[in-house]
Amino acid sequence: MVVMVLFAISAGPTGSSDLIFLLRTAPALPPRLLIRRPVSRRSSADRPRPASHRSSSAGSARSSGSCCSSSSAPPPPRRRRFLAGGSDAGRAVATRRVLDMGAGENNPLGAQNAWDMLSEEQSQKHITTGSGDLNGILGGGIHCKEVTEIGGVPGVGKTQLGIQLAINVQIPVEYGGLGGKAVYIDTEGSFMVERVYQIAEGCISDILEHFPHSHEKSSSGNKQLQPEHFLADIYYFRICSYAEQIAAINYLEKFLGEHKDVELCIYTSQVRIVIIDSVTFHFRQDFDDLALRTRVLSELSLKLMKIAKAYNLAVVLLNQVTTKFTEGSFQLTLALGDSWSHSCTNRVILYWNGTERYAYLDKSPSLPVASAPYAVTGKGVRDVSSNHKRVRVT
């Protein structure tokens, strides 16, 4: 105890008279950077309730911390407990062991053992990219519950791939797709609706090619295979500054929560992919305080990870490349460098090899690095094959 107290003194710039201040009060982080605690965790029955036995000891900060399940302000951190060795009191409470805590439908962020996760992972559908080779290196397509970053030089097809994914996620379940909706957050203005319409038409024509009798089906839950329906199921946000980007992502959590509840009852589709194009554009301006930029970006990426896991959707971040001065020469790397590079689960880099477009899987927890060619045609992203190249009009 004595050791810990001394450590706390030396860690911060405060003197011993301010020790009580450290123990009692919450860190005053600026509101924008406060990480919101999810209310569901508090109200889940699995969590132990240490508040009851704590009421005997003074410490308003602590008890207020445990009971504010309905307030919107994040509760102060329970640092107090660690410094004071509160596990003595914790022993008296009959708590469920952490090993027995299970994840379920109402608590997707809870603890799970690897075997259950394995069976869940195997039943997971992936979002096809339109190109078989590209799907191959990605292990079937873009994975849900993961954040994938796709970077490349201008013109190599990042936005095309983003739009293709926004359309492909909507392929109905009976044709092998996810039947979901898409959220497209556009920071650069590259989302051209007529191109989206063209890609939707291309996707539908491919579906009809593979399933020639589909137009005869007319079940009530069947989505009409019209490009207009595909367009209508994209939620499009256009943002013009980094503050709007942060606001949009904060709003997204609320937006997804609302739609999830409503849709579950009606048994229709829900959002299964969130695409941000491009995630770093507004952060490449002059930031007076680079540490602030790092903090904001880290919080952004954690939030996106959480959204991906909690709502079982795929998050795709499109990123730009920049030249970086390393080892005496300029090299091409993804924008925002080291501080951002760990903020994704998978990373794909799109590059030119002569006149061909290639995709390179750079980072993945379960797949080896590999490259595959792909092409951008009038119908969208497809495999490289001679009769589907975009017609060159000279």
Partner 1 sequence: MRPPAPKPPPPPASSSSSYSRREPRPENPLLLLPSCRAAKLSLGCPLLDRLLSGGLPAASVTEIAGESATGKTQLCLQLALLAPQSPLSASSLFLHSDLPFPLHRLRRLAPKSCPNILDHVLVAAAHSPAELLSLLARAQRLLSDPGRSPHRLPIRLILLDSIASLFRADFDASPADLRRRSALFFKISAKLKELAYRHQCVVVVTNQVVDVVERDAGNTVAWSSGRRVSPALGIAWANCVNTRLFLTRELDGDGAGGSARRRMRVAFAPHLPEQSCEFVIRRDGVFGIEPPQR
Partner 2 sequence: MEERMNQDQPSTEGRCGRFWNGMDLLKDVTENKHFLPTGLEGVDTLLGGGLRQGQLTEVTGPSSSGKTQFCLHSASHVAAKHMGVVMYLDTSNSFSPGRIATIIDGTPGLFGQRAYGVQLLGFDLQPKDVRLKSIMRNIICESVFDIFALSEVLHQLEVSLLNDKEKNGGSRIRLLIIDSISSLLAPIIGGKYPQGRAMMISVAMTLKKLADEHNLSVLVTNHMVSAGNGAVKPALGESWKAVPHVRLVISRERGSNMCTATVLKHTLLYAAVFSFPPRWFLMYAGQQQQ
The residues in 25-44 that bind partner 1, with binding defined as CB under 8 A, are none
Mark the segment that binds partner 2 (CB under 8 A) among 166-174, 228-236, 245-253, 336-344. 336-344
Given 51, 61, 67, 83, the residue binding partner 2 (CB under 8 A): 83
**Which of 300, 356, 292, 326 is closest to 149 using CA atoms?**
300
CB under 8 Å to 9, separation ≥6 — which residues? 15, 16, 19
| Contact status: 188 vs partner 1 (CB under 8 A) | yes
Residues 375, 384: Cα–Cα separation, whole Å: 5
- Shortest reach from residue 202's CB to partner 1, in Å: 13
CB 374 within 8 A of CB 358: yes
| Contact status: 371 vs partner 1 (CB under 8 A) | no
- Of the CA atoms within 13 Å of residue 236, those in its CB half-sphere come to 18
- Strand, coil or helix: 47: coil
List binders of partner 2 among 350-369 (CB under 8 A): 362-363, 365-369
Given 82, 353, 366, 369, the residue binding partner 1 (CB under 8 A): 353
| Contact status: 105 vs partner 2 (CB under 8 A) | no
| Contact status: 340 vs partner 1 (CB under 8 A) | no
Residues 230, 254: Cα–Cα separation, whole Å: 23
| Contact status: 192 vs partner 1 (CB under 8 A) | yes
| Contact status: 257 vs partner 2 (CB under 8 A) | no
The contact pattern for partner 1, residues 243-272, with x = CB under 8 A and - = no contact, is xx--xx--x---x-----------------
- Of the CA atoms within 13 Å of residue 358, those in its CB half-sphere come to 12
List binders of partner 2 among 38-77 (CB under 8 A): 41, 47-48, 57-59, 74-75, 77
Mark the segment that binds partner 1 (CB under 8 A) among 64-72, 122-130, 235-243, 307-315. 235-243
| Contact status: 299 vs partner 2 (CB under 8 A) | yes
| Contact status: 8 vs partner 2 (CB under 8 A) | yes
Residues 345, 143: Cα–Cα separation, whole Å: 10
- Shortest reach from residue 186's CB to partner 2, in Å: 24
Beta strands 356-363 and 346-353: pairing type? antiparallel
CB 292 within 8 A of CB 299: no
The contact pattern for partner 1, residues 299-338, with x = CB under 8 A and - = no contact, is ---------------------xxxx-x------x--x---
**Tokens coding 315:** 């998050």
Q: Decide whether 183 or 203 has the Cβ nearer to partner 2.
A: 183
CB 334 within 8 A of CB 101: no
| Contact status: 12 vs partner 2 (CB under 8 A) | yes
| Contact status: 344 vs partner 2 (CB under 8 A) | yes
Mark the segment that binds partner 2 (CB under 8 A) among 81-89, 158-166, 177-185, 249-257. 81-89
| Contact status: 360 vs partner 1 (CB under 8 A) | no
**Tokens coding 39:** 């209310």
CB 357 within 8 A of CB 372: no
CB 232 within 8 A of CB 181: no
CB 9 within 8 A of CB 16: yes
Given 105, 286, 289, 338, the residue binding partner 1 (CB under 8 A): 286
CB 324 within 8 A of CB 336: no
CB under 8 Å to 76, separation ≥6 — which residues? 25, 26, 27, 61, 64, 65
| Contact status: 108 vs partner 1 (CB under 8 A) | no
Q: List residues near partner 1 by CB under 8 A.
A: 153-156, 159-160, 183, 188-197, 228, 231-232, 234-241, 243-244, 247-248, 251, 255, 281-282, 284-286, 320-323, 325, 332, 335, 352-355, 378, 390-394
